[in-house]
Amino acid sequence: MEAYTGVINPYALAELVIGKKIKWDNVEEREKLLANILNIPEADIFDIQKSPVLAPHIKIKSPEEIEHLSQKDAMDKVVKSFEAIKFSPHEEIPFKAKNTEKVIDIVNNMILSCAESPNSPWNPPNVEWIDKGALFDDVDEFNDPIQGALGDCYFIAAMSSVAWSRPYAIANVVRPSSWSEESPIHKVDFYKNGSTHQKIEVSERVPVRKGTHHWIYARSLDPGEIWPAVLEKAYAKWKTNNPTDQPDYTRIAGGDPVKACAEIVSGRRYYYWNKSYSATQLWNIVRSNSLGKRTFNPMVAWTYCSPPADIDYKKAGLVSCHAYSILGWEYQNYQKYIVLRNPWGTHHATLDTLSGYWWARFINFWVQIPLNRNGVFAMKAETFKKYFAGMGVVR
């Protein structure tokens, strides 16, 4: 049984709307700012059933059933969801109708607009394909990949998990090939079913907003570094069998984060559904795939798309139907913790989490990683068991 996740990064969408980068971890009232930009009530922003933009490509019919919508139905869903929004009497409506129209236009054109043919170059409105910088500014790092305005959290979480657990793996996956007139060409390795080796060639030209050249999809935390964007582009080309250098990104929205790890580095997939294990068992599984508290096999976790009645993701600071990287484990004050990262690069969990720093052994030295920054958090194993649907590893 495979996992499924598929929500976009609303922080990236908000930046796309205003056309500039925001240092979200420095914003005290992040949800209020998101509400002001996206014209969505604060209470609905991270609610997959109420938000018009969190998962426009799917409809949750029951706790066990997800319907994948056609492009037309998805676009209709976005419009109708905005029409149904009701602000409380004490909540000021942030923007006029034309601002909502702008959000709808961006969602439809950048997230839901498919190419005319799977074999043709993808040219959505208001998009340019340009080379944004160097492939690597330094080595690939786990906190580099930041998800964009596309529901491929599963793939971005997998990238982060691979970069963390297998140092230099990404550099081995993405190799220089040749030069075009405009940009370097890279060969990117992927593994069908975790074993069959396939090579994809792509340039460093990626889709950005026309005029502002603002990021639409995956980007790096390091300015000027573009390896997450190039790897995401290659993945879109591979999954859609597009022979051009401009694949349709919208077709990779939604997927399995464990499978994505296996597609990047090869290996056998193992799934652990949290209901079938105790909190200590789950913690021990993470430990058995770690050394010096750091995972040495890529590990990911995912939340419920339709959570049980006793789970409130908003209060926990988590998001439903979302993938997270598992970085390792911690043990403090007789409490077991699992360390995770949100691929949004912000919006860390707040329930039963540690503060301060987490120390982990990276290759032959120890690194100090701030908790509750850049999406990284350490959650009690008991809380992880309850709030996450499952976790997986590739080895």
Assess if residue 2 is contained within a domain: no
172 and 244 co-located in one domain: yes
User: Using a CB cutoff of 8 Å and minimum separation of 24, what contacts does 364-370 make?
Assistant: 366/292, 369/327
Cβ neighbours around 294 below 10 Å, total: 24
Domain end (from 65, 80, 111): 111
158 and 66 co-located in one domain: no
Alpha-carbon span 128 to 209, nearest angstrom: 6
Question: Which pLDDT tens digit goes with each residue over 215-272?
Answer: 999 999 988 889 999 999 999 999 999 999 999 999 999 999 999 999 999 999 999 9
244 and 278 co-located in one domain: no
Assess if residue 148 is contained within a domain: yes
163 and 272 co-located in one domain: no
Domain end (from 82, 111, 140): 111
| DSSP per residue, 363-393 | TTEEEEEETTBTTEEEEEHHHHHHHEEEEEE
DSSP 8-state code for residue 175: E
Alpha-carbon span 56 to 72, nearest angstrom: 11
Assess if residue 119 is contained within a domain: no
Assess if residue 176 is contained within a domain: yes
Alpha-carbon span 329 to 2, nearest angstrom: 24
CATH of the domain at 292: 3.90.70.10
278 and 305 co-located in one domain: yes
User: Domain residues for 86?
Assistant: 10-111
- The domain total for the chain is 3
- Counting Cα atoms < 13 Å in the Cβ hemisphere of 188 gives 28
Comparing 115-129, 233-247, 280-294, which segment has the lowest mean pLDDT? Answer: 115-129
pLDDT for the residue numbered 100 = 83
| DSSP per residue, 303-316 | E-SS--TT--HHHH
Which two structure tokens, joined as six digits, stand for 384? 């992880």
Assess if residue 250 is contained within a domain: yes
Query: Which among 322, 310, 379, 300 has a CA at the least distance from the CA of 47?
Result: 322
The residue written with tokens 């790890």 in the block is 261
Alpha-carbon span 210 to 259, nearest angstrom: 33
Please tell me which residue, 298 or 104, carries the higher pLDDT value: 298
Assess if residue 3 is contained within a domain: no
pLDDT for the residue numbered 111 = 85
Mean pLDDT of the chain: 91
pLDDT for the residue numbered 195 = 82
pLDDT band of residue 112 (cuts 50, 70, 90) is confident
- For residue 268, report the phi and psi dihedrals to the nearest 5 degrees: -90, 140
pLDDT for the residue numbered 283 = 98
Domain end (from 111, 143, 174): 111
Distances from the Cα of 143 to the Cαs of 87, 344, 370, in angstroms? 36, 10, 11
Question: Which pLDDT tens digit goes with each residue over 80-106?
Answer: 988 888 765 555 555 445 568 889 988
132 and 250 co-located in one domain: yes
Assess if residue 262 is contained within a domain: no
First to last CA, the chain: 17
Cα angle: 294, vertex 217, 273; to 5 degrees: 45
278 and 381 co-located in one domain: yes
Residue length of the chain: 395
131 and 253 co-located in one domain: yes
pLDDT for the residue numbered 117 = 78
37 and 97 co-located in one domain: yes
Assess if residue 122 is contained within a domain: no
366 and 251 co-located in one domain: no
155 and 231 co-located in one domain: yes
251 and 289 co-located in one domain: no
Contacts of 376 (CB under 8 A, 6+ apart): 143, 327, 339, 340, 341, 342, 348, 358, 369, 370
